[in-house]
A and B are shown apart, each in its own frame.
Chain A
Amino acid sequence: QKEVEQNSGPLSVPEGAIASLNCTYSDRGSQSFFWYRQYSGKSPELIMFIYSNGDKEDGRFTAQLNKASQYVSLLIRDSQPSDSATYLCAVNAGDMRFGAGTRLTVKP
């Protein structure tokens, strides 16, 4: 069974703070890891992907991967109200499985 687990949330942070989103996965054969953002009523859109252990930074977003611990996270620095959305962790081990998502609210 290919399981992807995320913090149930909801997560609320003040504007300007760091938001930390976490995800674990069960399939050790997983090769690639993705974070999608989904606004209410919209389709998911890709924010970041990471393939190798360590950190990957893109603007205010940093993805972290630890394959030994089967753990992937997303940090959002200087959070903005426009970052308020549901964040979906996705893991690809031959097919793409998603976590249930963590709802983030950034309060002005």
Chain B
Amino acid sequence: NAGVMQNPRHLVRRRGQEARLRCSPMKGHSHVYWYRQLPEEGLKFMVYLQKENIIDESGMPKERFSAEFPKEGPSILRIQQVVRGDSAAYFCASSPTQDSTGELFFGEGSRLTVL
């Protein structure tokens, strides 16, 4: 039973390029979270999605960032016109339901470096 799969594991982009990070949740999980983690810091909530719905995007910067979780395929976190400050580890986590007692299962993270 595969866990949460994130790719790419490492991504290097130049300033102004686009970064696309993908997350396939665990089988049977319909809820996905994205978090950003800067070096030596905690996990900062970005967005919470259900299939075809954004539940909460209050942690997402208003510009350049978007996320989706289509009916088929992985969840995508898209960063347009990247800047150096976007360099971070981006973690995806999934849960089976919106049940507030549920734990999250994390992927290995995607590490973005902006040159």
Contacts and interface: CB of A to CB of B under 8 A. Distances in A.
Interface in B97-115: 98, 100-104, 106-109
Interface residues of A, number: 25
A94 B97 CA distance: 10
Interface string B41-75: 11111001000000110000000000000000000
B76 interface: no
B104 A96 contact: yes
Interface of A: 6, 30-32, 34, 42-46, 49, 51, 86, 88, 90, 92-101
Contacts of A31: 100-101
Interface residues of B, number: 23
Contact of B91 (A34, A44, A46, A101): A44
A96 B41 CA distance: 17
Contacts of B55: 95
Contact of B56 (A45, A49, A95, A99): A95
Interface in B10-47: 33, 35, 41-45
23 contacts: A6-B42, A31-B101, A34-B103, A43-B91, A43-B108, A44-B91, A44-B106, A46-B104, A49-B101, A49-B103, A90-B104, A92-B101, A92-B102, A94-B56, A95-B45, A95-B48, A96-B33, A96-B95, A98-B35, A98-B43, A98-B44, A98-B45, A100-B41
A73 to B, nearest CB: 17
The 3 closest A-B pairs by CB, nearest first: A100-B42, A31-B100, A98-B43
A6 B107 CA distance: 24
Given A98-B43, A101-B42, A92 B100 contact: yes
Contacts of A86: 42
A45 B44 CA distance: 16
A43 B92 CA distance: 10
B79 interface: no
A98 B41 CA distance: 11
Given A93-B100, A94-B98, A100-B41, 18 more contacts: A32-B102, A34-B104, A42-B108, A43-B106, A43-B108, A44-B43, A44-B91, A44-B106, A49-B101, A49-B103, A92-B102, A94-B56, A95-B45, A95-B48, A95-B56, A97-B45, A98-B43, A101-B43
